[in-house]
Amino acid sequence: MNEIIGKEYPLKSIFSKDFDFVIPPYQRPYSWTTEHTGQLFDDLYDFMVTQDENDAYFLGSIVLIKDKNQTYSEVIDGQQRLITLTILLAAITSKLNGAQAQSMAKYVNEPGDEAEYIKPKPRLTLRPKDKDYFKKYIQDFGINKLIELNSQSLSDSQQNIMANAQLIQSKLEELFGGNSTTIFEFGKFIVNRCYLVAVSTTSMKSAYRIFSILNDRGLDLLDSDILKADIIGRLPEDRRDDYTKKWEDLEEELGRKYFNDLFGYLRMILLKKKLKKTIRDELTEFLLKEKFDPVRFMESTLIPYADAYEIILNANYQNSQDPSHVNSLLTWLQRIDNSDWTPPAILFLSKNLNKSESLTKFFEKLERLAASLFIRRVGVNERIDRYAKIIAELESDEGITLINSSLDLSEIEIKKTLEALNGDIYPLSTRARNYLLLRLNYWLSDGLQWVDYKVLTVEHVLPQKPSENSDWIKKYNWSTEAREYWLHKLGNLALLSKRKNSEAQNYDFQKKKEKYFKTKSGVAAFAITTPIIDIQDWTEDVVKKRQQEFVKKIKTGWQLV
């Protein structure tokens, strides 16, 4: 039987001679974006400056294939955190000098010890494709050289490493300036007060079974289960059966996962701040006080919030008038890549179920705000702060006015949103790019095309790499500068409902229309795409005019004035 060992370690023990971490070739590429890394950095810094110096920050768990008598540690789960933490420690080291730099550097690289037959080597070895890149720019402390690299020549994982290293560098500068003393204190906090649980076994099969359990693939106890015991247990004995049934009916209606998620949104509504501990702990501290009334909580909070959340999840708002616009907005909101907007949506809907006109105005503004934050890639902390302000306004004595509130975009935010719309759209995340193009398509069709295809492809009309002998160059006079400027803009993009044909992507315009864009070939009649068929020449003027038309349509749709 394979022995399973699980133990909590501070990072100074994780990045030590006790572990020789290796990311095996079969692992997926490093995928943490600047949002993940920015959130981790902010959480660490916030914990350091706000919590007692004896408190520890828990970073989660990693799963390893490792013999207890060997240092070699094959990483099955946890590579994203280990890589990001290595980048963070390397960035901190790069800001230090002398003994301080040497003290921090040993957590990035094993310095070696001849007496113990230990050779100098990196603490973490990445997949073969990224190993040399990571060593050169991160583990050899060459972060500043990353600025000089052409990101287009890098793989996705290498681009993520570069972007995250630059983000951490900028955050260190922003928070600490050139003060090596405070930077070193931050580094000391990370290695001494931040902990990981390392779970190891010698068997691949056993390691993946552990990985499955830790990732909640079984029916482990959820926060909602434990809170149920606490809350129902405080009810008078003659009321427990009744409210147990009500609780279980809500759970069944929403589904186990979404019912558990509801408590995270409920916590945000009640506390209006970023999660510091666990949802269960923070809700318990807030709710289960001496004067806590479980009946009032069930009737005035949990049940109406659950009803509102069910409407939001299924976009099934109903009233005596036409509810279609509200449900359309709820469906668009569900396409956003985060759910930070959900708590104010639950709160407002629960208070205004019979006020269809107010709901329409509220969700129009909420969708515009969420979309703007989405497209501008605003970080999670700023998003949470914004939605917390909206919740506070909703709960104020006056209530939210829907005019000149935190729901509205400021002039600066409108300007930045328009700048994003006029910038390069294609490099956005797939969800952000598709959201924007489908929203535009909806408005171009006057709301008649509500498309939700299983396959959705964004295509460049002017291709990314046209041949020098092609019509793109010879007939339409696309210069290198013009191609670089317009290639990824809205005006040069189209939607398809089939997978890309790599052969057709670089066709000349006339042939591309026949092979790629005509509806008889099976391409969906997207309002953003079908007019291309009637365009004779794909020139810079055509793309510019199309760009202006699209941005104007979005400005009108979201009322960006």
Q: Find the Cα–Cα–Cα–Cα dihedral 512, 516, 518, 522, rounded to 10°.
A: 160
pLDDT 10s digits, 382-426: 999 999 999 999 988 666 666 668 999 999 999 999 999 999 999
Cα–Cα distance measured from residue 122 to residue 109, given in angstroms and rounded to the nearest whole number: 4
CB 17 within 8 A of CB 215: no
Cα–Cα distance measured from residue 250 to residue 36, given in angstroms and rounded to the nearest whole number: 32
Name which of 429, 435, 430, 502 is nearest 464 in CA terms: 502
Q: What is the DSSP letter of 328?
A: H
For the chain, give the mean pLDDT: 87
Q: Are residue 151 and residue 180 in the same domain, yes or no? A: yes
Residue 440 binned pLDDT confidence (cut-offs 50, 70, 90):
very high
No. of helices (H) and no. of strands (E), the chain: 24, 10
Q: Are residue 42 and residue 167 in the same domain, yes or no? A: yes
Q: Phi/psi class of residue 56: alpha, beta or left (left: φ > 0; alpha: ψ in -120 to 50)?
A: beta
pLDDT of residue 401: 65
CB 473 within 8 A of CB 462: no
Per-residue pLDDT at 515 exceeds 80: no
The number of distinct structural domains making up the chain is 3
Q: Are residue 204 and residue 252 in the same domain, yes or no? A: no
CB 171 within 8 A of CB 178: no
164-173, 226-235, 251-260, 283-292, range with greatest mean pLDDT: 164-173
Orientation angle between helical segments 342-351 and 303-314, nearest 10 degrees: 110
pLDDT of residue 322: 77
CB 354 within 8 A of CB 317: no
442, with CB counted inside 10 A (0-12, 13-18, 19+), is buried
CB 379 within 8 A of CB 335: no
- Residue ending a domain, choose from 421, 440, 463: 421
E strands, 293-439, are: none
Cα–Cα distance measured from residue 62 to residue 39, given in angstroms and rounded to the nearest whole number: 19
CB 298 within 8 A of CB 246: yes
Cα–Cα distance measured from residue 258 to residue 334, given in angstroms and rounded to the nearest whole number: 14
Length reported for the chain: 561
pTM: 0.68
Average pLDDT of the segment spanning 343-358:
93
pLDDT of residue 99: 94
Q: Are residue 449 and residue 362 in the same domain, yes or no? A: no
55, with CB counted inside 10 A (0-12, 13-18, 19+), is exposed
Per-residue pLDDT at 215 exceeds 90: no
pLDDT 10s digits, 18-39: 999 999 876 777 889 998 999 9
Q: What is the DSSP letter of 113?
A: B
Average pLDDT of the segment spanning 337-345:
96
pLDDT of residue 211: 60
Q: Are residue 409 and residue 437 in the same domain, yes or no? A: no
Q: Are residue 255 and residue 210 in the same domain, yes or no? A: no
Residue bearing tokens 């939700």: 452
CB 161 within 8 A of CB 130: yes
Average pLDDT of the segment spanning 123-149:
89
Average pLDDT of the segment spanning 131-139:
94
Q: Are residue 58 and residue 160 in the same domain, yes or no? A: yes
Average pLDDT of the segment spanning 307-314:
96
Residues spanned by the domain of 475: 430-558
Token pair for 57? 């920050």
Q: Are residue 103 and residue 85 in the same domain, yes or no? A: yes
pLDDT of residue 185: 95
Give the distance from CA 160 to its chain's centroid: 14
Name which of 418, 399, 422 is nearest 409 in CA terms: 418
Cα–Cα distance measured from residue 476 to residue 484, given in angstroms and rounded to the nearest whole number: 15
pLDDT of residue 206: 66
Of residues 250 and 68, the one with the higher pLDDT is: 250
Token pair for 240? 């427990």
Q: Are residue 412 and residue 515 in the same domain, yes or no? A: no
3-class DSSP string for 267-293: HHHHHCCCCCCCHHHHHHHHHCCCCCC
Name which of 288, 391, 411 is nearest 347 in CA terms: 391
Identify the helix (H) or strand (E) that includes residue 2.
Answer: none
Average pLDDT of the segment spanning 450-468:
80
pLDDT of residue 449: 59
Cα–Cα distance measured from residue 108 to residue 87, given in angstroms and rounded to the nearest whole number: 9
Average pLDDT of the segment spanning 330-338:
94
Residue 503 binned pLDDT confidence (cut-offs 50, 70, 90):
low
328, with CB counted inside 10 A (0-12, 13-18, 19+), is middle
Cα–Cα distance measured from residue 441 to residue 439, given in angstroms and rounded to the nearest whole number: 5
107 by DSSP, 3-state: which? coil
pLDDT of residue 217: 41
pLDDT of residue 219: 41
- Residue ending a domain, choose from 396, 421, 446: 421
Task: State percent of the chain over pLDDT 90.
Answer: 53
Amino acid making up residue 294: P
CB 157 within 8 A of CB 130: yes
Q: Are residue 398 and residue 443 in the same domain, yes or no? A: no
CB 425 within 8 A of CB 438: no
Of residues 329 and 526, the one with the higher pLDDT is: 329
Which residues does residue 10 pair with via DSSP β-bridges, in sequence order?
Answer: 195
Residue 52 binned pLDDT confidence (cut-offs 50, 70, 90):
confident
Of residues 63 and 491, the one with the higher pLDDT is: 491
Q: Are residue 240 and residue 104 in the same domain, yes or no? A: no
Which residues does residue 74 pair with via DSSP β-bridges, in sequence order?
Answer: 22, 65
- Residue ending a domain, choose from 185, 214, 243: 214
CB 325 within 8 A of CB 360: yes
CB 67 within 8 A of CB 202: yes
CB 171 within 8 A of CB 41: yes
75 by DSSP, 3-state: which? strand
Q: Are residue 511 and residue 417 in the same domain, yes or no? A: no
